[in-house]
Amino acid sequence: MKAKNLVWFFALMLGFALVLSACAGDGEVETDSDDADTGTETEETDSGDDGDSEGDEAAVDTDDNHLIIAVSSDLVSLDPHGNNDVPSSNVRSNIYETLVKQDENMEIVEGLAEAWEPVGDNSWKFTLREGVQFHDGSEFTAEVVKANLERILDPAIGSPRSFLYDMLSEVTVESDYEVVITTEYPFAPLLAHLAHDAGGMLSLEVIEEDYTQAIAEAGLDLSLEDYYELRAAGGDDFEEVVSEIAEYAGLYVAQNPVGTGYFQLGNRVSGEQTVLTRFDGYWGEPAKAEGVTFKVVPEPSARVAELETGYSHIADPIQPTDKDHVDNHEATFMNVQESVSLSYVSFNTEKAPFDDPRVRQAVSLAINQEEIIEGIYQGNGIPAIGPLAPDVFGYDPNVEGLLYDLDRAQELLEEAGYGDGFSTTIWTNDNEQREETALYVQHALQALNIDVEIEVLEWGAYLERTAAGEHDMFILGWSTVTADADYGMYALLHSSMHGDPGNRAFLTDDRLDELLDQGRRETDPDARQAIYSEAQELLVELAPMIYVHHQNYLTGVRNEVEGFWVDALGIYQLKDVTLN
């Protein structure tokens, strides 16, 4: 107990140094919820162009049935094929819809497709809903499905989410409302991937206008039909065109997020708020609220104040230290949701000294997860032994992680030639728990004579710079939104996923790659489990990151809000929300 208290004493003393470091940071990465599907489009590419309204302020609808949510971080992109962060997904999930969805039990249910069936080993046939309209009045058809899936795989778009669908070999339009999706090999989690936010269906008219404007901006004498023909053929000619239009592709979509969802974009002020309004032409039961405002309130105490005073109806996230306060307030209560997320501290495995697995193991062994969970997260969540949460397919409870052992950590450093320690940096975004975790790591590693400098970066730049591999160590989160090990491990750890898609550790290991490739090709559940169990054992040796915990999502809600819930992926469910 004495040692633990000493850690927190030093952490408090070091707080002032953290504030000074924060002033120097100019980056941006993940949000306050340890969410992440991690994505990485930069703020300057997306946030300033996502349909921002003119003027300094956007009018907030004060109608009694207009929901206001105080969130810690602004979205990064309204393009469904853009970045992979939770703040963006929370807004986009109301604008766009997918072919299939996951219910509260993570089971696949109907979405824009009302039926589906396998056609052979590698193909699925989907029957689409008829009479579905986009916000621009255009119709949802099989051609739209084909255009969206081909767009996310288009190198000109450069989607960090393309790994979700890079196994697709063909999308065939059978009729206006029938489409067949074929994969290169049997792919067990295909339906879960189609339910992912990245499978959001964008208006065909918007897609075509986006390409048309990109081609024009690049100054190319090329029709849209010519572009599609070049893309189908591939080769050097297409690569040359891609290099010309990649700078402009996606800009129009970012300004015109047109989906089939029950809400549509009203207005937006980058860094301040995004306002959605109810889409009355929705094909199903319309949303009950007139609209939703996502108000950016970075300070945790300010979000609590917004909630208590009624300026906001929902506040997310609530810090663990504020949980009881919110729950005991007469006008508010806490929504607590177990998750399939992971919070972690990662190394850049391409940079010395973290290019040596012994150093990574040593640092991992010097960190006591329990102290972080109890002292920083107030017991909110469970320890992580690897990247997968217990509710994710492929999780193996028998894997023994790198548990706290300072003596063994010192031995490994001496073996690696760093017995006298070294200097390094750790990055985080402006999230209270992550900042405190950085302080904890800074102090804990002093026991190994490792000097750690802390830098706090802005969310968008954090994502951009960690994707570029500029860091030594960083703190982030990842949510396995498909509840399948393929998503929980492939993007985070496969060598083909370096940077933007998720592997910000820049880990490269041939055996791990082989196992992850096998795991997404194997259809037998028992065989898949064996593959992922071996992969998790291998990760203990590779130690690309310190697995901290699987958190609970803490959301503050006012008593007058009814019908609101958060799923295991951290996504708000807003369609049936009402205000009494």
- Give the tens place of pLDDT for each residue, 444-489: 999 999 999 999 999 889 999 999 999 999 999 998 988 899 999 9
Architecture per CATH, 100-204: Alpha-Beta Complex (3.90)
Dihedral angle sign, alpha carbons of residues 164, 254, 573, 340? positive
Q: For 113-135, give one letter per residue: b (16+ CB within 10 A) or e.
A: beebeeeeebbbbbbbbeebebb
Closest by Cα among 221, 202, 223 to 212:
223
Provide the 10 A C-beta neighbour count for residue 302. 15
- What is the chain's length? 580
Place of tokens 């998790």: 536
Question: Is residue 567 very low, low, confident or very high in pLDDT (cuts 50, 70, 90)?
Answer: confident
pLDDT at 33: 38
- Look up residue 548 and give its amino acid: V
Query: In the 8-state DSSP scheme, what is residue 197?
Result: G
Question: Where exactly are the structural domains of the chain?
Answer: 2-28+339-552, 43-95+261-337+560-579, 100-204
pLDDT digits (tens, 9 = 90+) for 90-135: 999 999 999 999 888 888 999 999 999 999 889 999 999 999 999 9
Closest by Cα among 259, 262, 222, 260 to 242:
222
pLDDT at 171: 98
Closest by Cα among 40, 75, 63, 58 to 158:
40
pLDDT at 63: 54
Q: Is the peptide bond before 397 cis (omega within 30 degrees of 0)?
A: no
Q: What is the mean pLDDT of the chain?
A: 89
Closest by Cα among 166, 202, 168 to 80:
202
Top CATH class of 43-95+261-337+560-579 equals alpha beta
**SS3 sequence of 272-328:** CEEEEEECCCCCCCCCCCCEEEEEECCCHHHHHHHHHHCCCCEEECCCHHHHHHHHH
pLDDT digits (tens, 9 = 90+) for 206-236: 999 999 999 999 999 999 999 999 999 999 9
Interatomic CA distance for residues 141 and 176, integer angstroms: 5
Query: At 139, is the secondary structure helix, strand, or coil?
Result: strand
What CATH number does domain 2-28+339-552 carry, 1.20.120.140, 3.40.50.720, 3.10.105.10, 2.60.40.1930? 3.10.105.10
pLDDT digits (tens, 9 = 90+) for 298-312: 999 999 999 999 999
pLDDT digits (tens, 9 = 90+) for 344-375: 999 999 999 999 999 999 999 999 999 999 99
Q: For 77-86, give one letter per residue: b (16+ CB within 10 A) or e.
A: bbbbbbbbbb
The strand pairing partners of 94, in sequence order, are none
Place of tokens 């090990």: 485
Question: Is residue 37 very low, low, confident or very high in pLDDT (cuts 50, 70, 90)?
Answer: very low
Query: For residue 123, what are its two tokens?
Result: 């193909």
